[in-house]
Amino acid sequence: MELIQGAILFIQTEKARSELESDIKEHESNLLLLDQTLEEDFSEEQERSKLEAVLAEKRGHLASLPTLSFNPQHFEDFYIESLPLSESGLDWAVIIPDVEHEAGTEPGNSSKLLSASEPTKTESAVVEPTEADPAIVDPEKITDS
């Protein structure tokens, strides 16, 4: 959970940093343009002081952003190195065909999820899996991890 919160904080901080850096570049550009602008009713000193004040404020915000210890590489590594589902304790479920449906009871369910350790009346009627129907699992071929 801490990893996810760290990722969210990292994304928010990087977005704010990007916006502030963009604003700073824009204001620096405006100051350069100001040096090139000459208009008679234009108050260069007043405009310059406004731009410098805004620029100082933006630089202050940028400097006050927290330095994060979050490393995006750790977030990526966490998910890459996670165990596959078969090794994570979720391999207890086995999908077997619904033989009862073929016998005329309860239409609508094509397969059921059962515990591998529970014997059922349908296990003896399991159809061998073929390449055409890879969703059918033969309980005898399942190995316990």
CA distances from 78 to 32, 43, 87, 117, 125 (A): 46, 57, 16, 32, 42
Residue 111: pLDDT band with limits 50, 70, 90: very low
Contacts of 9 (CB under 8 A, 6+ apart): 68, 70
Residue 49 in this model has a pLDDT that exceeds 50: yes
User: What would the pLDDT profile of 83-106 be if each residue is shown by its tens digit?
Assistant: 555 555 555 555 565 555 555 555
| 30-49: average pLDDT | 74
Residue 145: pLDDT band with limits 50, 70, 90: very low
The domain locations on the chain are 2-80, 85-141
User: What would the pLDDT profile of 53-68 be if each residue is shown by its tens digit?
Assistant: 988 898 888 888 887 7
Residue 105 backbone dihedrals phi, psi, to 5 degrees: -105, 145
Task: Please tell me the distance from the alpha carbon of residue 14 to that of residue 73, in angstroms, as a whole number.
Answer: 15
Q: What is the pTM of this model?
A: 0.34
The rounded radius of gyration (Å) of the Cα atoms in the chain is 32
User: What would the pLDDT profile of 75-86 be if each residue is shown by its tens digit?
Assistant: 666 666 665 555
| 6 closest CA partner among 83, 59, 76 | 76
